[in-house]
Amino acid sequence: MKLGIVWRTGIALALVGVLASGLTGYYGFTESRALLQSAAEQRLLTATRVLARQLSVGLDNASRDVLMVAQHPGTLGLLQTWESQTPNSRGSTMAALFDTILHTHPEYFQMRLIAAADHGAERVRVDRSDEGLLRVFEEDLQEKGHYPYVMETLRLPAGAVYVSRASINHEMGAHAGRHSPSLQVATPVYDAQQQALGLIVVNIDLARLFKQLAADLPDTLSLYLSNSQGDFLIHPDPKQAFAFDRGQRALVQDAFPDTRKLIGDHVEDGPQQLVTLQATDTPEQALVAAFVRQPLVGLHNDEGFVIGLGQPLRSVLADADQLGRTSLRIVLAFSALAIVLAALLARRLSKPLHQLLRALREFGQGAHDAPLPLPVTRHDEFGILARAMAEMQTQIRGQFASLELKQQELDRLASHDTLTGLPNRRLFMDRLTQAMARARRSHNQLAVLFIDLDNFKDINDTLGHEAGDDVLNTMGQRMSALVREVDTVARIGGDEFIILLDGADNQAEITQIAQRMVDTLQRPVTYRGQQLNCGASIGIGCFPQDGEDITSLIAAADQAMYVAKQSGRNQLRFASALADSSQVRSDP
């Protein structure tokens, strides 16, 4: 029996409908899959960039620490008067300062003062050992003049910072640092005649530093770090890390060939980045990875670092696979309905079908900001398909919104203290730089309050870190409540806080604010029914009289704080009012 034109038209329309729905579903799936993969890759690249910035911040913090100690008056005085001091007393104040810094930075293995004389003899040295911090006394001090980090640092001008190559520490007597991945950050100490008398060296635990930086990363991400030549320094497989130390080579450009663009001395200056796919024998093992080459800006270093994060491709495409199954169900449902209703809906098929295709095409081309016109009010199959597509669009928009929120959170983590929520050292330095620039232009003043909590270590050691964290949060809230919105309260590490009073021209007002701060922080903190007495010592530095740059201004406030501590705690001192500017600070 011959089929009539109606049936032939119906069958043709049914076939066209099936074909159109299949193409629509496939096009939507492929476009959405590409969008999801691109979004996941950008998220991975963003996380890698944030991690690279945090690495720069960590090394910058180390450089600030060595510069702060090198510029301290007691450091030069100790090198100049070493031979005239008695063996039992010399270096004790410097050792206490090293001890404080090592307590604040658990990623530091070791801190030393090395003289340029006597073949680079160590003068003061504090190591991290399995039992805690340990000062090494004179009979165990060594000569280090033959090590490259000593020779290279002593050639640098005053204020310059040297960063060594990352390597396995094979120095004898390095305690916890021996046989561990590390690098040295050092700066020279000059006298008034511009002669280098010695250097300050910090030995950084590279593994612990990256463990801290990557603490908040998901378990599905793999961390990679290589030097500028491609040698792995950190790798999920420990056998690949520092292979050159064992006479072997394990290179990032062998595992990820596209990273050759980031390796070697021919790479352009500035951060470089890429996203690549690791070649594997099976698709299940495929890995998407983002790499960033991070130069060490402002530091003297033989090489930069290439840092990367990897994520399994199946994890990246998990949402796309779910979307594919949803699209397949929609296509099958629509095809069945198209065959049944082709004869009756032949004239009505063209308009909504074209509308769907147009909306999907616009969505695939990037029209994500506003909902696309879809026939969602229809009560037939086109309405079902339109609502499913609208739901798909909503899901994708939600994923983009989630990506943006995660990126904002990563940016916030890079600039705020994770415990108290206050700005961290990096954000505070940015705001202080801007405030000092405004003060110079308008010939105004500003003040910096350096605050160190009293008795905090006793609370932390006696009641534990949970009590210490509660005290830090309470103190941070009290400080924030006592300043204006234009001022900045920041936690810079441990129990140390710093406050910027922007536009503070009146010393009486500064004194009033600081005294209220002392009185308020002296009030007990209630913790689990106990009254914990803490308090704080405050040092105040004013711009420009106490320092015309960030380093000198903060150092002046820091020194004034230590004078306040030595004077009995729960006090404030102005740097400009110190009777003896050569007073050596010590940690009580």
Q: What is the pLDDT of residue 588?
A: 38
Q: pLDDT class for 49, splitting at 50, 70, 90?
A: confident
pLDDT tens per residue, range 174-228? 777 778 888 889 999 999 899 999 999 999 888 887 777 667 777 778 888 888 8
Looking at every residue in the chain, the average pLDDT score rounds to: 82
Q: How confident is the model at residue 269 (pLDDT cuts 50, 70, 90)?
A: low
Q: Check residue 364 and give its pLDDT.
A: 62
Same domain, 560 and 441: yes
- 449 to each of 335, 395, 500, 559, how far by Cα in Å? 72, 49, 7, 11
Question: Residues 323, 396: one domain?
Answer: yes
Residue 244: is it exposed, middle or buried by C-beta count within 10 angstroms (0-12/13-18/19+)? middle
- 214 in a structural domain: no
Q: Which of 356, 387, 413 is the last residue of a domain?
A: 413
Looking at the predicted structure, is the pLDDT value of residue 394 above 80?
A: no
Q: Which of 83-87, 317-321, 418-422 has the lowest mean pLDDT?
A: 317-321
Convert the pLDDT of each residue in 309-361 to its tens digit.
888 877 777 766 777 777 777 877 767 776 766 656 555 555 666 666 666 67
29 assigned to some structural domain: yes
Please give the pLDDT value at position 411: 65
Which of 65, 454, 495, 546 is the catalytic position?
A: 495
Q: Is residue 146 part of a domain?
A: no
Q: Are residues 465 and 409 in the same domain?
A: no
Helix-strand-coil percent breakdown of the chain, rounded to 5?
50, 20, 30
In this structure, is residue 358 part of a structural domain? yes
Structure-model confidence comparison of residues 449 and 240, the more confident one: 449
Residue 585 has pLDDT above 50, yes or no: no
Could you give the number of structural domains in the chain?
2
Does the annotation mark 281 as catalytic? no
In the chain, DSSP finds a helix count (H) and a strand count (E) of: 15, 20
Binned at pLDDT 50, 70 and 90, residue 111 comes out as very high
Q: Does residue 344 sit in the same domain as residue 404?
A: yes
Percent of the chain with pLDDT over 70: 82
My answer on whether 409 and 498 are in the same domain is no
Q: CATH number of the domain that 453 lies in?
A: 3.30.70.270
pLDDT of 327 = 72
3-state secondary structure of 48: helix
Q: Which structural domain range is residue 478 located in?
A: 425-577
Confidence category of residue 542, pLDDT binned at 50, 70, 90 = very high
Shared domain for 494 and 399, answered yes or no, is: no
| pLDDT (average), residues 37-56 | 81
Instruction: Evaluate whether residue 407 is within a structural domain.
Output: yes
Judge whether 35 and 166 are in contact, CB under 8 Å: no
Percent of the chain exceeding pLDDT 90 equals: 29
Looking at the structure, tell me whether residues 467 and 488 fall in a common domain.
yes
Q: Which one of 413, 445, 461 terminates a domain? A: 413
Q: Rounded to whole angstroms, how far apart are CA atoms 153 and 196? A: 10
Residue 323 is assigned to a structural domain of this protein: yes
